[in-house]
Chain A
Amino acid sequence: MSSATADKTAPASHRFAGIRNALHIITQSYSMMFAAALLVTVLLLIILVPLLPGYDPYTQNLAVSLAAPFENIDGRTYIFGTDTLGRDLLSRVALAGRVSLLIGLCAVVISLALGVFLGLVAGFFRGVVESIVMGLADLQLSIPRVLLLIAVAAIVGPSVVNLTVLLGLTSWVVYGRVARAMALSLREREFVLSAVTQGASAAWNIRKHLLPNVLPQMLIVGSFELGQIIVFEASLSYLGLGIQPPLPSWGMMISEGQQYLEIDPWIALLPGIAIFMLVTGVQFLSQAFTSEGQFDLASPPKGT
C-alpha cells in the first residue's frame, strides 16, 4: 500500500496533493461518488438539523407517538415520524449522530496518538520495550473487543467521557503495528543513522524523521477505524451499555425500535440507515486516500 503521500522526501504541500488525488479518484468511479454522496448527506443531516427551527429531541408528546415518516398531525409534519414517546425522530437521529461522531473522532485521535507513540517507541528502541508493547497488544487482541468494552464499561460506568477514552484505549493496536513496522524499516535508513551519529536524541529522531513518514498512512487507517469505532459505540448503546439517556444514541434507538418492528419499523430503521450511511461513506472514502480504490478481480492469463 503506497501512495504519493507516503513519499518520505515529500514537502508539506504533498498533503494537499493527497486531497487532490482523493477528489480525483472519487469522481472517477461511481461507487466512490455514491459513498461520497452518502457521507455528505448524513453529515448534512447531523450538522444542519439541530440548527433548524422546530428542532426538539426531548419533548415527549404521547398524543403523536408512533407517527410514520412524513405524517402530518395537527399541522406539523414529522419528517422522520415519532417514537413511542412522541419525540421527533429527525431531531433525535441528528443529535445522536452528533454524539456518535464526536465520540468517534475523539476516540480515533486518542487511539492514533497512543498507537503511534507506542508503535514508534517499540520499533525504535526494540528490546524490552518492544516486548512489553507487543505483549500488551497481543493481550488485548486475545479477548474479543466487544467483550473487553462491555466488561470495562460495566465496571467503570458508561459515561460519554468514559466511553470515548475506552474506545480510544482499545483501538490503538492497529496503528501501533503499522507504526512499529515503519519504525523498524526506517531506523536503518541513512538519514536516521546519520542523525543518530550526529548525536540527536531518540525523541528528536522520532519526531523529526519517523513521524512524518508514519502519519499519512495513519490517516488512512484512522478514517477506516472511525467507521469501526462508530459501529462499536452503536453496538454498546444497543446493548444498553453505551450512551445513556437522556442523550439519544442510534444504537439505543434501534434497540427500543426493535420491540415495535411490527407496528412502526421506522423507529429502528432510520437510525440504522444513518449508521450505514456514515460508516460506508467514511470507509469507502478512506480507500480514496490510498492508491487502490477498486476491488481487484484478476483475470486468467492470456493464451491459456
Chain B
Amino acid sequence: MLRFLARRLTQSVLTVFGVLTAAFFLVRLAGDPSVLLLPVEATDKDIALLRSELGLDQSLPIQYAKFLVNVLQGDLGLSLRQRVPALDLVLERLPATLELALTAFVLGLVLAFAVGLVMRLTPSPRLRAAIMWLAFIRQAIPVFFFGLLMILLFSVTLGWLPSLGRGTIYHLILPALTLATYELALYLRLFNSALGEQQGQDYVRTAYAKGQTRTKIILRHMLPNALLPLVTIAGINLGMLLGSAVVTETVFSWPGVGRLIVQSVSQRDYPVVIAGVLMMSLVFVLINLAVDLLYAVLDPRVRLS
C-alpha cells in the first residue's frame, strides 16, 4: 500500500510540474509576458521591475527557475484590476468551487448508484429503457443550457429555488444537480455493463451454486466488483466535472474560481487567469489522487501489489 501511495504521489508531483511548465510556455506564447502581466498604464519603471523579477532579460532556463521559485512561494503576480496578489483572489474563491464540485461528484455517484440499482432490480424493462433514455438525452444537452433549463423551470416558472449566488443550501441544489446529472448517462451505462459483465463471471456462478439468493448475490458479490470500473471512470471524468463546474459557476453566478477566471479573461486580468487555471489543475490532480486511493481501498488486489 505504501509503495502504491508513493508511486502515485510522485506521479502527481510530476504532473503538477508539467502543468506549471506548460503555463510558463503558454504565457510566453503571446510574446512578451510583460504585455500580459501588467496593466496598460504601467510605467517604464513597472515594466523594468517585472522584467527583472521574471528574469526576462536572462536566458530561458533561468526564467523558468525564477518562475518555479515564484510559484512555489505563492507569488503569481498581482491582479491587474485589484492590485492584490492573484493567488489571494483565487484562494478566496476556492471553497465555493470545492463545495460545488465535491457535492456534485458525490451526488453524481450516489444518483448513479441508486438509479443503477433500481434499474437492475426492477422487473420492468420499460422502466429501464425509459431511465436510460432520459440519461442519454441529458447528456446531449450542454451543461450550461441544462442549467438554464433548470433555472427556467425551478426559479422562473415554479419559483421554488433561487437562481443565483451562494448562501443557503437551496442555492447549492440547482448548480449541483446540473453538474451531477451530466455524467449520469455514462455512469449508468457503465454500471449496467459492469453489472452485466459480472453476470457471466464464474464467481457469480459459484455463489448461485452455493444456494445464495439473487438479491444477496447482486449486493454482496456483483456490486463491489461493479463499483471498481465506476470509480475509475468517475475519476477520469473529474476533468469534465471541473471543467463543467467552470461553466456552471457562470450560469448560476456561483462565486467560485471558475467564474473568477471567466471574468478575469474578459477583463484581461491575466495574472488571475493563470493563477486560477493553475489552482484548478492542482485541485484536479489532488482529487485524482484521492480517487486512486479510494480505488485501492475498494480493490484489495491493488493494495497488495
Footprint of B on A, CB under 8 Å?
31, 135, 138-139, 141-148, 150-156, 227, 231, 234-235, 238-241, 251, 254, 258, 261-262, 265, 268-269, 272, 275-276, 279-280, 283, 295-298, 300-301, 304
Contact = CB atoms under 8 A, between A and B. Distances in A.
A228 to B, nearest CB: 10
A177 B281 CA distance: 22
Contacts of B281: 142-144, 147
B69 interface: no
Given A143-B19, A145-B243, A241-B262, A254 B274 contact: no
Contact of A239 (B18, B129, B250): B250
Contacts of B208: 301, 304
B273 A142 contact: no
B172 to A, nearest CB: 20
Contacts of B74: none
A285 to B, nearest CB: 12
Interface of B: 15, 18-19, 22-23, 26-27, 29-30, 36, 119, 125, 128-129, 132-133, 137, 140-145, 148-149, 151-152, 156, 189, 192-193, 195-196, 199, 208, 214, 239-244, 246-247, 250-251, 261-262, 265-266, 270, 273-274, 277, 280-281, 284-285
A254 B262 contact: no
Given A154-B273, A235-B247, A300-B199, A144 B214 contact: no
Contacts of B195: 298
A280 B143 contact: no
Contacts of B262: 150, 239-241
B27 A155 contact: yes
A296 to B, nearest CB: 6
A231 B240 CA distance: 12
B26 A151 contact: yes
Given A146-B247, A239-B262, A300 B214 contact: yes
Contacts of A269: 152
A297 B132 contact: yes
Given A146-B244, A241-B262, A300-B214, A139 B192 contact: no
Contact of B246 (A147, A231, A240, A296): A147
Given A150-B246, A235-B142, A261-B156, A298 B196 contact: yes
Contacts of B18: 135, 138-139, 142
8 contacts: A138-B15, A151-B273, A235-B247, A251-B144, A254-B148, A296-B193, A297-B128, A298-B195
B50 to A, nearest CB: 17
A261 B164 CA distance: 13
A251 B251 CA distance: 12
A-B pairs, top 3 by smallest CB distance, nearest first, are: A298-B196, A146-B243, A144-B243
A265 B155 CA distance: 13
Contact of B189 (A235, A239, A295): A295
A269 to B, nearest CB: 8
A144 to B, nearest CB: 4
Nearest to A152: B26
Contact of B152 (A151, A261, A297, A301): A261
Contacts of A156: 29-30
A261 B151 contact: yes
A101 B246 CA distance: 24
A235 B284 contact: no
A238 B119 CA distance: 35
B239 A145 contact: yes
Given A272-B142, A272-B149, A298-B196, 9 more contacts: A139-B18, A142-B281, A142-B284, A153-B265, A234-B144, A265-B152, A279-B142, A297-B132, A298-B195
B246 A258 contact: no
Given A151-B274, A235-B142, A254-B145, A144 B128 contact: no
A25 B193 CA distance: 21
A275 B119 contact: no
Contacts of A143: 19, 22, 239, 277, 280-281, 284
A227 B296 CA distance: 34
A275 to B, nearest CB: 6
Contacts of A135: 18
B144 A151 contact: no
Contacts of A141: 239
Contacts of B15: 138-139, 142
Contacts of B26: 151-152, 155
Contact of A139 (B22, B145, B152, B246): B22
Contacts of A268: 148
Contacts of A146: 243-244, 246-247
A144 B30 CA distance: 21
A235 B143 contact: yes
Nearest to B28: A155
Contacts of B214: 300, 304
A298 B133 contact: no
A223 B208 CA distance: 43
Given A144-B284, A151-B274, A272 B193 contact: no
